[in-house]
Amino acid sequence: MKVAIVGAGTMGSGIAQIAASAGHGVVVYDKSPAALDRSRRQLEKRMGNFQKKGKLTNTEAQIIQTKISYTSQLAELSEAELLIESIIEELGAKQLLFRELEDIVTQQCILGTNTSSLSVTAIAAACRQNPERVVGIHFFVPADQVKLVEIIPALQTRTPITQQAQQIIRQWGKTTVLVKDRPGFLVNRIARPYYLEALRILEEGIANVATIDWAMTHLGGFKMGPFALMDYIGNDVNYIFTKRLFKSTFYDNRYQPSVVQKRLVEAGYLGRKTGRGFYNYFDHSTNPAPYSDETLGKQILIRILVLLINEAADALFHKFASREDIDLAMSTGIDFPYGLLSWADDLGIGFVVRQLDELYELYHEDRYRCSPLLRQMQKKAERFYT
Ligand SMILES: NC(=O)c1ccc[n+]([C@@H]2O[C@H](COP(=O)([O-])OP(=O)(O)OC[C@H]3O[C@@H](n4cnc5c(N)ncnc54)[C@H](O)[C@@H]3O)[C@@H](O)[C@H]2O)c1
């Protein structure tokens, strides 16, 4: 199968590598020759590292590299059977591109988009001839390492296209989950309270960043604390995503961005990439130590955890994805220690509802409204899994 990747940035380059590793011929297009050059050099470097670590032989690395060609001519994508677009996250730019692509690729070519926050339906709508073959194929960064890919049919997408996309991506060694075209899709939306509630706790002066991170990692088993994770992702990227989600959910209070994070962005304290974010990353810099009090730590953990569970339950209530896919997505897409719905079963649905209601009682903010699904389950003494 011939694969085309449009956009030779961080994600497009990673996806090209995965497709070539799966044995496909790949052509990468970017409007910027410099981006194409960077992508080629980065691939060479990664292949070199893989060889040093013994993950690939010299021949295997060579084969992968020869399978990828680079072009700044859109017409060279004409033979693609699967195309994945991964250009700048702007609806207008993506729509323009898809409209152009329709006249270049064959009628059989599946058109995938790696958008992380735009409506797949709105992107598909740009296609005048055949919007039914457009589907969201959402990889996570770093694309070659994160197992999960969200498959997001647009309102127009024909079911066989979704199934084919899912099948191909699984053949590439990825785990796929099927997600409705809703703001933020699944992982990034359900994970929002991990950041936003941590920021709220910080803003209220309940604990400092180190203590909140300690509570989530040491007591909760999360791989990275919320502040370390925001610094890793980049506060600019994390903040913009939240802002977009807030807007596209018609300003649902649950996704209200944080002023604390906005100020960091304004100051240029973007995280690891600028040497400073919530923490300092410059050589010899010191960071505050956590106040390792178990009682406080558990309060923090439970508060963030019940809000995460509430998001996961609401995603199921609104049928964004299946119960199994919701749990699979959070454990493989963002490395949460357990699926949130099975975690809810362990804590007890009644306990989760009571914690949410206590928060609601205190704040009277919509942000803490309990999912109707959890309330129904509590009344019927149900669990997510039997
Ligand atoms: N970086 C992430 O964490 C991440 C994760 C998942 C999905 N995504 C999504 O993947 C897409 C790309 O993100 P990225 O981080 O790789 O961006 P990037 O800035 O690293 O790369 C984007 C590339 O697209 C090229 N480009 C821009 N407009 C173009 C056009 N009209 N035609 C051809 N090429 C064009 C640019 O030259 C650039 O090389 C976005 O939709 C983003 O939301 C990003």
On whether the CB atoms of residues 85 and 111 are closer than 8 A, the answer is: yes
Q: What is the pLDDT of residue 78?
A: 97
Taking the centre of ligand 1 as the mean of its atom positions, its distance from the CA of residue 34, in whole angstroms, is 14
- Atom number, ligand 1, closest to the C-alpha of residue 96: 31
**Best of 86, 140, 236, 270 for a ligand 1 pocket test (most atoms within 8 Å of beta carbon):** 86
Half-sphere exposure in the Cβ direction for 40 (13 Å, CA): 16
Distance CA(293)–CA(315), nearest Å, equals 33
Closest CA to 15 of 33, 51, 37, 42: 42
HEC string for 171-192: HCCCEEEECCCCCCCCHHHHCH
**Per the confidence metrics, is the pTM higher than 0.85?**
yes
Residues of the chain with CATH 1.10.1040.50: 186-386
**Identity of the residue numbered 138:** H
What integer best gives the mean pLDDT of the chain?
97
On whether the CB atoms of residues 359 and 303 are closer than 8 A, the answer is: yes
Per residue in 213-241, pLDDT tens? 999 999 999 999 999 999 999 999 999 99
Q: What is the pLDDT of residue 43?
A: 96
Tokens of 365: 């903010």
**Identity of the residue numbered 156:** Q
Is the pLDDT at 284 greater than 90? The verdict is no
Start-to-end CA span in the chain (Å):
42
Query: For the domain with range 186-386, which CATH number is right: 1.10.3720.10, 2.40.50.140, 1.10.1040.50, 2.40.50.1020?
Result: 1.10.1040.50
Q: What is the pLDDT of residue 307?
A: 98
Q: What is the pLDDT of residue 30?
A: 98
Tokens of 283: 């050589």
On whether the CB atoms of residues 373 and 317 are closer than 8 A, the answer is: yes
What are phi and psi for residue 185, nearest 5 degrees? 55, -125
Taking the centre of ligand 1 as the mean of its atom positions, its distance from the CA of residue 214, in whole angstroms, is 33
Per residue in 321-349, pLDDT tens? 999 999 999 999 998 999 999 999 999 99
CB of 9 sitting under 6 A from ligand 1: yes
Q: Name residue 280's beta-bridge partners.
A: 276
Alpha-carbon Rg for the chain in angstroms: 22
Residues of the chain with CATH 3.40.50.720: 2-178
| Burial class, 224, CB count within 10 angstroms (exposed 0-12 / middle 13-18 / buried 19+) | middle
Closest CA to 276 of 239, 224, 235: 235
Q: What is the mean pLDDT of residues 41-66?
A: 95
Per residue in 175-209, pLDDT tens? 999 999 999 999 999 999 999 999 999 999 999 99
Q: Going by CATH, does the domain composed of 2-178 fall within 3.30.2270.10? A: no
Q: Which residues of 114-147 are buried (b: 16+ CB within 10 A; e: fewer)?
A: bbbbbbbbebbbbbeebbbbbbbbbbbeebbebe
CB of 141 sitting under 6 A from ligand 1: yes
Taking the centre of ligand 1 as the mean of its atom positions, its distance from the CA of residue 88, in whole angstroms, is 4
**Identity of the residue numbered 8:** A
Q: How confident is the model at residue 247 (pLDDT cuts 50, 70, 90)?
A: very high
CB of 199 sitting under 6 A from ligand 1: no
Is the pLDDT at 169 greater than 90? The verdict is yes
Count the neighbouring beta carbons within 10 Å of the beta carbon of residue 106: 9
Q: How confident is the model at residue 285 (pLDDT cuts 50, 70, 90)?
A: confident
Alpha-carbon 151 to chain mean position: 12
Per residue in 67-126, pLDDT tens? 999 999 999 999 999 999 999 999 999 999 999 999 999 999 999 999 999 999 999 999
H-run or E-run covering 97: helix 91-102
Q: How far is CA 236 from CA 2, 63, 141, 273, 277, in A?
A: 35, 37, 16, 11, 10
Q: What is the pLDDT of residue 122?
A: 98
Q: How confident is the model at residue 308 (pLDDT cuts 50, 70, 90)?
A: very high
Per residue in 118-168, pLDDT tens? 999 999 999 999 999 999 999 999 999 999 999 999 999 999 999 999 999
Is the pLDDT at 13 greater than 90? The verdict is yes
Q: What is the mean pLDDT of residues 368-382?
A: 98
Tokens of 101: 């692509």
